[in-house]
């Protein structure tokens, strides 16, 4: 299946799966599987941002960890500039680890408290490049400037920074080795709302200047609306709708996307309807519902939905939806 018809995507994910075995007993026999990611496909073109949204347990963070190769895929492929990184052994992963950098939710936990800010940003340069100390210092100073941190801040420790400055430092560390893809997992959700906008604007400016490609993982639709080009809506390990941002926010087609937008703090009034509000919890990914996984919460469920799994289909240019209601479009 092809999603977005870009000739040369930076990242192409095809039928990605991550199933965690559940083991019991002395012999650690496998008794079940948690299908955290279960057949996810998408592409991201250079200089674009794909946002993955969904409730907790949807699998969006696991997708990020798979792309970073922090965990190994059960099946499927992850192609970075055409190279399938799921097939690379530990020794061959070095170039991948340089080209894909990450920014996490909690900058304080992800920055070594014993290192100065300059050392934190210099660490990936030391790991991945052979620069003289003068060249390294110049690179560190340049990325500090790019993220809006003053040169004097290089000698300070993470605890001396505010939350927003710490996230700027985490972004500087990611930028230090000139990555082609940044995976950002809830990078602003620990920050005050006023600071969130500053960090998002910084990410947008850097993207424009450096042609960066982002996979941005968030549960916050306000944040996603600010930064995304395309939005992938995830539910129980699957993408149920993927489309350009404007289409998702003005005319979401999947009932789950409609419910998410109806539940957002500043929703589009057209979708603020009682019958679109989500009820109940997300079912367990160990035992997902039969047929359409959303059928236990969907206000439009039919008998067919309970038995037949809808495929993710293109319903209009660049718009893909997995719902029986949309199959005749
Ligand atoms: Fe709802 Fe059926 Fe569509 Fe699933 S396939 S989202 S249950 S209408």
The predicted model gives 182-196 an average pLDDT of 91
Q: Are residues 66 and 196 in the same domain?
A: yes
Whole-number Å distance, alpha carbon 128 to ligand 1 midpoint, is 47
**Residues near ligand 1 (Cβ within 6 A):** 254-255, 292, 294-295, 298, 300-301, 305, 310, 323-325
Side-by-side strand order, sheet with 29-44: 29-44, 11-24, 75-80, 83-84
Q: Are residues 117 and 72 in the same domain?
A: no
* Strand boundaries in 9-126, DSSP class E: 11-24, 29-44, 49-53, 75-80, 83-84, 100-103
| Atom number in ligand 1 closest to CA 302 | 2
Check whether 267 has a pLDDT greater than 80.
no
Q: Are residues 117 and 247 in the same domain?
A: no
The predicted model gives 26-47 an average pLDDT of 91
| Atom number in ligand 1 closest to CA 256 | 6
Q: Are residues 91 and 192 in the same domain?
A: yes
With b meaning 16 or more CB within 10 Å and e meaning fewer, what string describes 106-119?
bbeebbeeeebbbe
Instruction: Give CA 329 to chain center in angstroms.
Output: 29
| Atom number in ligand 1 closest to CA 295 | 7
Query: Where among 228, 249, 276 does a domain terminate?
Result: 276
- With residue 199 as reference, give the H or E element that holds it: helix 193-210
CATH number at residue 247: 3.40.50.300
Query: Where among 238, 260, 276 does a domain terminate?
Result: 276
Whole-number Å distance, alpha carbon 237 to ligand 1 midpoint, is 16
Q: Are residues 88 and 194 in the same domain?
A: yes
pLDDT above 70: percentage of residues in the chain: 93
- With residue 314 as reference, give the H or E element that holds it: strand 313-316
Q: Are residues 186 and 168 in the same domain?
A: no
Q: Give φ, ψ of 238 to 5 degrees.
A: -125, 155
Pocket test for ligand 1, best of 289, 300, 322, 326 (most atoms within 8 A of CB): 300
Q: What count of residues does the chain have?
A: 329
Q: Are residues 235 and 268 in the same domain?
A: yes
Could you tell me if residue 323 is inside a domain? no
The predicted model gives 200-207 an average pLDDT of 96
The predicted model gives 303-328 an average pLDDT of 93
pLDDT bin (cut points 50, 70, 90) of residue 316 is: confident
Could you tell me if residue 322 is inside a domain? no
The predicted model gives 89-110 an average pLDDT of 86
Q: Are residues 172 and 122 in the same domain?
A: yes
Q: Which of 86-95, 104-113, 192-201, 308-317 has the lowest mean pLDDT?
A: 104-113
Q: Total structural domains in the chain?
A: 2
Bridge partners for 52 per DSSP? 217, 232
Helix-, strand-, coil-residue percentages of the chain, each rounded to 5: 40, 25, 40
Could you tell me if residue 300 is inside a domain? no
| Atom number in ligand 1 closest to CA 310 | 5
Kindly compute the dihedral angle of the four CA atoms of residues 70, 227, 162, 167, in this order, to the nearest 10 degrees: 30
- pLDDT confidence of residue 300: 93
Could you tell me if residue 21 is inside a domain? yes
Q: Could you give the angle at the alpha carbon of 167 between the alpha carbons of 164 and 172, nearest 5°?
A: 130
Could you tell me if residue 1 is inside a domain? no
Could you tell me if residue 141 is inside a domain? yes
- pLDDT confidence of residue 216: 97
Q: For residues 94 and 46, which has the higher predicted lDDT (pLDDT)?
A: 46
Q: Which residue has a Cα nearest atom 5 of ligand 1?
A: 323
Inter-residue contact 203 to 196 (CB < 8 Å): no
Bridge partners for 35 per DSSP? 19
Whole-number Å distance, alpha carbon 243 to ligand 1 midpoint, is 18
Could you tell me if residue 308 is inside a domain? no
Q: Which of 19-28, 163-172, 182-191 has the lowest mean pLDDT?
A: 19-28
Pocket test for ligand 1, best of 276, 320, 325 (most atoms within 8 A of CB): 325
Check whether 329 has a pLDDT greater than 60.
no
| Atom number in ligand 1 closest to CA 301 | 7
Q: Are residues 193 and 251 in the same domain?
A: yes
Whole-number Å distance, alpha carbon 298 to ligand 1 midpoint, is 6
Average pLDDT of the residues of the chain: 90
Pocket test for ligand 1, best of 254, 260, 279, 295 (most atoms within 8 A of CB): 295
Task: Give the tens place of pLDDT for each residue, 210-237.
Answer: 999 999 999 999 899 999 999 999 999 9
Ordered DSSP codes for 235-264: ETTEEEEEEEHHHHHH---SHHHHHHHHHS
pLDDT bin (cut points 50, 70, 90) of residue 1 is: very low
Q: Are residues 68 and 186 in the same domain?
A: yes
The predicted model gives 131-155 an average pLDDT of 93
Q: Could you give the angle at the alpha carbon of 172 between the alpha carbons of 171 and 174, nearest 5°?
A: 65
- The model carries a pTM of 0.91
pLDDT above 90: percentage of residues in the chain: 71
- pLDDT confidence of residue 2: 43
Whole-number Å distance, alpha carbon 311 to ligand 1 midpoint, is 11
Q: Are residues 272 and 186 in the same domain?
A: yes
Residues in Cβ contact with 23 at an 8 Å cutoff, skipping those fewer than 6 apart = 29, 30, 31
Whole-number Å distance, alpha carbon 67 to ligand 1 midpoint, is 29
Query: Where among 156, 178, 200 does a domain terminate?
Result: 178
Q: Could you give the angle at the alpha carbon of 225 between the alpha carbons of 324 and 6, nearest 5°?
A: 65
Q: Which residue has a Cα nearest atom 7 of ligand 1?
A: 295
HSE-up of residue 96 (Cα within 13 Å, Cβ side) = 22
Could you tell me if residue 283 is inside a domain? no
- pLDDT confidence of residue 56: 87
Whole-number Å distance, alpha carbon 208 to ligand 1 midpoint, is 38
Whole-number Å distance, alpha carbon 248 to ligand 1 midpoint, is 17
Q: For residue 257, which of 270, 244, 242, 246 has the smallest C-alpha distance?
A: 242
Task: Give the tens place of pLDDT for each residue, 147-179.
Answer: 999 989 999 999 999 999 999 999 999 999 999
pLDDT bin (cut points 50, 70, 90) of residue 80 is: very high
Q: For residues 165 and 25, which has the higher predicted lDDT (pLDDT)?
A: 165
Structural domain of residue 247, as residue ranges? 9-99+181-276
Check whether 15 has a pLDDT greater than 80.
yes
Q: Are residues 34 and 91 in the same domain?
A: yes
- pLDDT confidence of residue 57: 86
How far is residue 242's CA from residue 231's CA, in Å, rounded to a whole number?
Answer: 6
Q: For residues 128 and 264, which has the higher predicted lDDT (pLDDT)?
A: 128
Check whether 126 has a pLDDT greater than 80.
yes
Whole-number Å distance, alpha carbon 323 to ligand 1 midpoint, is 5
């Amino acid at each position: 299946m092809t999603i977005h018809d870009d000739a040369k995507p930076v990242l192409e994910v095809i039928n990605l799966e991550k199933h965690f075995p559940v083991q019991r007993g002395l012999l650690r026999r496998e008794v079940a599987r948690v299908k955290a990611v279960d057949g996810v496909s998408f592409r991201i073109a250079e200089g674009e941002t794909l946002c993955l949204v969904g409730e907790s347990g949807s699998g969006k963070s696991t997708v990020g960890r798979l792309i970073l190769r922090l965990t190994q895929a059960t099946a499927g492929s992850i192609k970075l500039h055409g190279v399938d990184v799921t097939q690379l052994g530990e020794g061959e992963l070095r170039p991948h680890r340089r080209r894909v950098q990450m920014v996490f939710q909690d900058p304080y936990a992800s920055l070594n408290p014993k290192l100065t800010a300059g050392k934190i940003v210099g660490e990936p340069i030391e790991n991945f490049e052979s620069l003289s100390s003068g060249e390294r210092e110049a690179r560190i100073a340049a990325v500090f400037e790019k993220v809006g941190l003053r040169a004097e801040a290089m000698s300070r420790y993470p605890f001396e920074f505010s939350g927003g400055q710490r996230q700027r430092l985490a972004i500087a560390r990611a930028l230090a080795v000139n990555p082609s893809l940044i995976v950002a997992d809830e990078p602003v959700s620990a920050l005050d709302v006023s600071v969130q906008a500053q960090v998002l604007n910084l990410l947008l400016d850097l993207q424009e200047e450096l042609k960066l490609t982002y996979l941005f993982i968030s549960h916050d639709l306000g944040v996603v609306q600010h930064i995304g080009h395309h939005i992938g809506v995830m539910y129980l390990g699957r993408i149920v709708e993927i489309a350009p941002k404007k289409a998702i926010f003005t005319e979401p087609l999947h009932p789950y996307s409609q419910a998410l937008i109806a539940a957002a703090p500043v929703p589009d009034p057209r979708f603020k309807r009682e019958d679109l509000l989500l009820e109940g919890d997300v079912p367990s990914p160990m035992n997902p519902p039969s047929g359409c996984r959303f059928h236990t919460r969907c206000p439009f469920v039919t008998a067919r939905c309970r038995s037949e799994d809808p495929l993710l289909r293109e319903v209009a240019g660049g718009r893909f939806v997995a719902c029986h209601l949309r199959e005749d479009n």
